[in-house]
Amino acid sequence: MEVKLLSARFDIEDGHKIEVAKKNGAYATLDKLFAMEPGEVIEEVKASGLRGRGGAGFPTGLKWSFLPKGLDKPVYLAVNSDESEPATFKDRYILVKDPHMLIEGIIICCYAINSHDTYIYIRGEYVSQAKALQAAIDEAYAAGYLGEKVAGHDFRLDVTVHRGAGAYVCGEETALLESIEGKKGQPRSKPPFPAVEGLYGCPTIINNVQSIGSLPFILTNGADAYKAHGTEKSPGTHLFGISGLVEKPGMYELPLGLPLMEVIEKVAGGVKGGKKLKGVIPGGSSTPVLLPEEAATTTLDYESMAEHKTMFGSGGIVVLDEDVDIVKLVKNLIDFYHHESCGQCTPCREGLGWMLKIVKKIINGDGTMDDVNLLRELCDNIEMKTVCVLSAACTMPVRSYLDKFRHEFEAYVQ
């Protein structure tokens, strides 16, 4: 089932080194790139149907086309390598195993949007990964792929690695920009959107590592070759992370559109220890959970996820077996989002704290049915009342657990 478009060089020994990567196709698309007009590159990416692989799934080419024309300001590219959504562990494979694919993608993007300065925002915990990335960037500078004249062309490009320092919220694109500017990571109100007013008040494109990493394949082989994989509306492949109570957890590159349960069973070996399935988190911890009967009819694409009232998210699939205590799992999730709230908006800062207190009370056996109802009510009162979607990333899944596994909450309070 695996299709290796992005992970083609992952298994090559020393594939992260520029000489080995080059022998295996890295930077080969640059001649073609510089022979094209930037607008043509944008059209090719639009035609590929590539959607943002960070979680929101916004069409990448369309995002680029939002940049205002004729402005006398620099344009920035910020590559989002914060990868902090629980159950998401895909981008670091690119950083470590094929960083030159990312750098080549950055060159493609920057040429298309006429940007000369890129910041790669990498989460602080990725210590060795940041070092590996920096080493690859140094190699690219030495080889003339970055710097004053990219591959000998009259195009300057500088790439700087900017390390975060332990804040999940900085994966939110405007918090990420604040963090590069040296501030605490508190999201900005939108509009203005970053494409108009982003980093240092200048037009800025923020793309996920995997989105950028998909560009060399698309440009080399054409939009049609990319669209040959996946479904019509969700084309291409994705680096899926499968974890939790499953036999063979790991990162697998798969075309979009495959049946979720077939992937869990055939690719990931099924539920660990042959136990019964209780549920599946389809796209990172913030996506609503699927019951086994729902998972059975879900396919791994944006449309099917939406039909099942959940989200494709980051493609981080978590398998829950029959023994998982849903109430305790919910506590674990609320704990995470409460801890990571930036504190800017009252409904999130205070509301998630209240949710945590209530779920702890329920687990301690002091809860009542009113508390279960209050927890549900809080979800509705917090969601969409904040600057960013961090609070919704908590309330959306919690609501799904409350609605689909209400009996487990009731068992605690009876």
Partner 1 sequence: MSDRSKLIETGTPFQFDPERDAEFERLVTRYPTRESLILPGLWLIQEQEGWVCAEAMAYLADRIGTFASKIYEAATFYTMYNLHPMGEYHICVCRTLSCYLLGKQQIVDYLKEEIGIAPGEISSNGKFSLEEVECLGHCGTAPVVQLNGEFHEDMDVEKMKALLATCK
Question: Segment 81-100, which members bind partner 1 (CB under 8 A)?
Answer: 83-89, 92
Q: Are 230 and 258 in contact (CB under 8 A)?
A: no
Question: Segment 213-252, which members bind partner 1 (CB under 8 A)?
Answer: 241-245, 249-251
- Per rule CB under 8 A, count of chain residues that contact partner 1: 54
| Least Cβ distance, residue 223 to partner 1 (angstroms) | 31
Question: Segment 284-313, which members bind partner 1 (CB under 8 A)?
Answer: 285
- DSSP letter for 388, please: S
Nearest C-alpha neighbor of 313 from the set 246, 400, 197, 185: 400
| Least Cβ distance, residue 209 to partner 1 (angstroms) | 12
| Least Cβ distance, residue 107 to partner 1 (angstroms) | 18
What tokens appear for 241 in the block? 């992370």
| 125 scored as a contact of partner 1 (CB under 8 A) | yes
Question: Segment 315-344, which members bind partner 1 (CB under 8 A)?
Answer: 316, 318, 320, 324, 329, 332-333, 335-336, 339-340, 342
| Least Cβ distance, residue 264 to partner 1 (angstroms) | 14
Element (H, E) at 321: strand 316-321
How far is the C-alpha of 312 from the C-alpha of 280, rounded, in Å? 12
Residue 187: C-alpha distances to residues 76, 171, 375 (Å): 18, 10, 26
Residue whose tokens read 């902090």: 84
**Interface pick for partner 1 out of 124, 144, 222, 270 (rule CB under 8 A):** 124
Our CB check for partner 1 shows the closer of 129 and 304 to be 129
Our CB check for partner 1 shows the closer of 15 and 241 to be 241
The verdict on whether omega for the bond into residue 187 sits within 30 degrees of 0, i.e. cis, is no
What is the contact mask toward partner 1 in residues 165 to 194, using x (rule: CB under 8 A)? xxxx----------xxxxxxx---------
Nearest C-alpha neighbor of 267 from the set 281, 248, 287: 248
Radius of gyration of the chain (CA): 22
* Strand 250-255 relative to strand 277-281, pairing: unpaired
Binding stretches for partner 1 (CB under 8 A): 74, 83-89, 92, 123-128, 158, 160, 162-168, 179-185, 200, 241-245, 249-251, 281, 285, 316, 318, 320, 324, 329, 332-333, 335-336, 339-340, 342
